[in-house]
Chains A and B, each alone.
Chain A
């Protein structure tokens, strides 16, 4: 059975959930081989990847790989494609992994599909385009298919794989070392789940009114074990940090539940949350476009509705 390369997403040594989704998907398509790029690999990571089906784990954990923008990771994958001749390469549809996929596509002369929400055994990908208005099936017709899959779009199931580890040495070329990362600036994240990975997201918009008042959004999120998101109006106003922006130019999220409070539902916001399974909206304007998407909507003042909802959730636990 051919290998299927899965580029591992990791943060501080932890494997992200989307990687487990990709491994689960890869098992249908061949023998999953996880590819670890950059520092932070550990026995714990290895165990996790094997638990979800990695037959092989390629480890390229030299610092060079992460110290330059995107290009070294594309070189690593290109090298593995030439040695392993995989049936496909899967990456998460995150901003950076899509860029890696794009450069890889040129290096190995293969087609790339972005933002897949599913992949069939025949390697035909499902994509949801135009803000969820049209469902497309597409496939790569030349080379080794490279597919970027949206986080939270496909299920996770454990099924042990051999997890055979293979160290890979990559000599990162000089041309891949032209854009150097000289500093990484971490902004406050807190203990909440990561936005793109969370099963539940609670977002606040301009209607929240102030940075201080975002605490009512955070309390609701904490009562549900959810991540907090924000509209652009809220991040531009400085009420919530930029990396929590949901939308076309922020994060794309596909949680099980998305709660939007004080968000009108502009097309650019919808582009980032339209594929949520269940949508709840709280807005004082009955004409707000967000209600067109909502499975459940409350027309009212979020300052009343949100704290009451938080209390009710606490009571019913």
Chain B
């Protein structure tokens, strides 16, 4: 025989730190080699423990990139797992958002009426993408397991707010990057942030009364209409809608939305009557 189970290998085997294939190799060898068999403890409890450890390495999935990132940023393992399962936190969602924004940036750079196109795209798109993210962060139809989730002790406003935050953050960050990469006055890059936050908080507040997709469609739709109207009108109106006074108005409205959300948050629980 070419090799035998030495002390080091035996120790690793006992600790359960071997890869499954090496465990199998050791097992196969020990079956065939009487000398090594004598050196391996055959106590039943020990065998059980070893096998459980091996089974665990087989069962444990590699964490998804999102979960890995969340854990890296210091979240406890179980919380990271909960957030990583958020439907909108799939890479595909971010890929789609990035593609839309990249298209907007490219269009802004090549457009004949560069500034105007940029304004249009950002006014319409940037605040709607986070709203879409919120709409797909929990509940039906985005979360196919919403019924099972509903019946668990974690269900309710806390989980919803964790998930909403987890999707809105990256979504807004991508918008900022895209805005910065576009031609046009610098203030555009930030001008949509308050409206976007208002729309997200408003959607969640409205979701305490209406189904989430309805709430998102309603607020997102209103925004698209207003943004289209504004972007085709005079620059004066644009200033009126994105100037300091308007921004202050968005801030106030957002505060109201947050207050409503806080007061009515228990209605985000599917088991709560509306």
A and B bind: no
